[in-house]
């Protein structure tokens, strides 16, 4: 049964890869389309800022807001640590 599942997974992966390659072939075209009006290219610094620094800044802002506005950190909340009392043995 494991061989059958492995064969099925391989067929699905191969089919998906083939479809992606077939569908992405127009992206590799060197000729311009009608109505194509590309803007100026981005420099390396602009690219890093746009695709690395902006998402990191957005993540930091969202994480900071979540930490600052967290209501579960009040005293006595469910995260408070309570030490258990020692058990006393009854004298016999």
57-78 pLDDT, tens digit per residue, is 999 999 999 999 887 766 555 5
Residue 18 covered by a domain: no
Greatest CA separation found in the chain? Answer: 99
Residue 52 covered by a domain: yes
- Looking at residue 63, what is its pLDDT? 96
Give the end-to-end CA distance of the chain in Å, rounded to a whole number.
65
Residue 76 covered by a domain: no
Residue 88 covered by a domain: no
Q: Domain range holding 57?
A: 41-70
In this prediction, residues 35-47 reach a mean pLDDT of 89
18 and 10 in contact (C-beta within 8 Å)? no
Residue 87 covered by a domain: no
Residue 65 covered by a domain: yes
Residue 36 covered by a domain: no
- Angstrom CA distances, 36 to 19, 40, 44, stand at 26, 13, 23
Per the structure, how many domains does the chain have?
1
């Amino acid at each position: 049964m494991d061989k059958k599942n492995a064969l099925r997974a391989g067929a699905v992966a191969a089919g998906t890869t083939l479809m992606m390659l077939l569908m992405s072939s127009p992206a590799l075209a060197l000729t311009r389309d009608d109505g194509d009006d590309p803007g100026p290219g981005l420099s390396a610094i602009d690219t890093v800022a746009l695709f690395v620094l902006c998402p990191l800044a957005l993540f930091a802002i969202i994480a900071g807001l979540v930490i600052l506005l967290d209501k579960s950190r009040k005293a006595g909340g469910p995260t408070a640590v309570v030490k258990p009392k020692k058990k006393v043995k009854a004298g016999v």
